[in-house]
Amino acid sequence: MISDLNEIISLNARGMKKSAIRELLKLTNDPEIISFAGGLPSPDTFPKLELVDIVRKVIEEDGDKALQYGTTEGDEKLRELICENYREEGFDITVKNILVTTASQQGLDLLAKVFVNRGDKVLVGLPSYLGGLGAFNAYGADMIGVKFDEGGMRTDDVRKILTELKAKGEKPKFIYIIPEFQNPAGVTMPESRRIEMLKIAREFDILIVEDSPYKQIRFEGEDQKSFYALDNDGQVINLGTFSKIFVPGFRIGWVIAHEDILDKFIKAKQSTDLCTSPFVQKIAARYIEEGHFARYLKNTIQSYKEKRDVMIAAFEKYMPEGVKWTVPEGGLFLFVTLPEYMDAEKLFLKAIEKKVAYVVGSVFHCDGSGRNTMRINFSYVSKEKNLEGVKRLAQVIKEEIRQ
């Protein structure tokens, strides 16, 4: 073995960190632990029997192409189907605006690879998705946190930050936003705020990156127009995925952007993996084309809504005074805020002793704040375990809360 590995690894590699969530999940392997920690869809929703038939058809009817290398841009049929869906939402796009990626996490990595030099400024929410923070950190981004409220990222704080940076001759590369059922906060940005955010982005000549993996998992409330549909002028990059709305094991995501931007992503992807699996792309395309997906999504939404309702009712019944939580209109998560004097990280090991797990909220804050917060997933375990898990968590908090 080489004498000093650290001496030769790259600056990018030195900046990489292990995923806090993946590390925490190692502590939850005990089957007796009720885990709210992962962002996992429920295995009960996976259309296993239908996929057996679809896989057989793909092998028998299109096996030569399905098992061969594919284009970097992605399977054309799948891109056409994705395109049709987004056109219904008001996107002015063709297949030339879509790149299929190996899940949306690759999209985030390519985003940083294409735009971020070490020390470049990037605006992210306080809190924001850990996978995005990890990707930007790996390329040396200097992340600036934007304050949050019940409508998500605050435009007044964005304007304040951009104005201060401009006075110093600095400009961030992009603003990273998760507008629907935000991970981890669970809140949705209203359309009026999206319009204002776009106005600010144009004024300061900055890209908006719209990460939208949960938009189709809406339980209630009014759908809000996507940033991309409100713009359609090349100011927005949209990231999507099947991981939360279909099956995560397929690892299919996509990037939607202006052709000039997408060309850079395609070049970056070619040096990463050449192409996303043609086999799983053709399976997904066939599944959608045969009309299964709409029914599948409807059943998934109903299942997750029931689980959310059970969890919210349990929070209302068992949580002590002083604990607050969001009530998401969709998605997979709610966000819990403890009294300011409490530390969710210190509480975590006590929760494990009570056989319940969550993700500490500080890992979602680029500035290390949010120590009194936690993210709770309601989609993965059963309704019965959601109820029991909240009881256990409430007991842990009650034992630590000041009377």
Q: What integer is the mean pLDDT of 258-280?
A: 97
Identity of residue 271 = S
To the nearest 10°, the Cα dihedral for 37, 41, 43, 46? -170
d(CA 324, CA 326): 7
Do 354 and 392 meet the contact criterion of CB atoms below 8 Å apart?
yes
- The dihedral of CA 85, 91, 94, 98: what is its sign? negative
Three-state DSSP at 142 gives: strand
Per-residue pLDDT of 350-366, as tens digits, reads 999 999 999 999 999 99
Q: What integer is the mean pLDDT of 215-234?
A: 95
Give Cα separations from 61 to 57, 67, 171, 290 (angstroms).
Answer: 6, 12, 52, 15
Per-residue pLDDT of 90-114, as tens digits, reads 999 999 999 999 999 999 999 999 9
Q: How many CA atoms lie within 13 A of 366 on its CB side?
A: 24
d(CA 249, CA 179): 24
Q: Token pair of 118, please? A: 């070490």
Write down the pTM of the prediction.
0.95
Per-residue model confidence (pLDDT) at position 20:
60
Quick one: which of 292, 265, 254 has its CA closest to 79? 254
H-helix or E-strand containing 284?
helix 278-289
Which residues, in sequence order, are bridge partners of residue 241? 253
* Assigned CATH topology for domain 5-47+294-400: Aspartate Aminotransferase, domain 1 (3.90.1150)
- Residue 402: count of CB within 10 angstroms of its CB: 7
Q: At what angle do helices 191-204 and 155-167 cross, to 10 degrees?
A: 10
Quick one: which of 330, 218, 286, 278 has its CA closest to 47? 286
Q: Token pair of 230, please? A: 């409100």
| Domain boundary assignment for the chain | 5-47+294-400, 68-291
d(CA 322, CA 189): 25
State yes or no: pLDDT of 28 exceeds 60: no
Three-state DSSP at 121 gives: strand
Q: What integer is the mean pLDDT of 68-86?
A: 97
Per-residue pLDDT of 199-214, as tens digits, reads 999 999 999 999 999 9
43 DSSP 8-state letter? G
Do 262 and 99 meet the contact criterion of CB atoms below 8 Å apart?
yes
Q: What integer is the mean pLDDT of 216-234?
A: 95
- Residue 63 backbone phi and psi in degrees, to 5: -60, -40
Q: Token pair of 347, please? A: 């509480």
Q: What integer is the mean pLDDT of 136-165?
A: 97
What is the residue-averaged pLDDT of the chain? 94
Do 74 and 99 meet the contact criterion of CB atoms below 8 Å apart?
yes
Q: Token pair of 203, please? A: 């004024």
One fold for 5-47+294-400 and 68-291: no
Of the listed ranges 15-29, 73-87, 258-272, 386-400, the least confidently predicted one is 15-29
Per-residue model confidence (pLDDT) at position 19:
64
Q: Token pair of 231, please? A: 């713009």
Per-residue model confidence (pLDDT) at position 9:
74
Q: Domain 68-291 has what CATH class? A: alpha beta
H-helix or E-strand containing 113?
helix 103-115
Do 1 and 8 meet the contact criterion of CB atoms below 8 Å apart?
no
d(CA 147, CA 136): 19
d(CA 389, CA 357): 8
Of the chain, the percentage scoring pLDDT greater than 70 comes to 96
Higher-pLDDT residue of 45, 403:
45
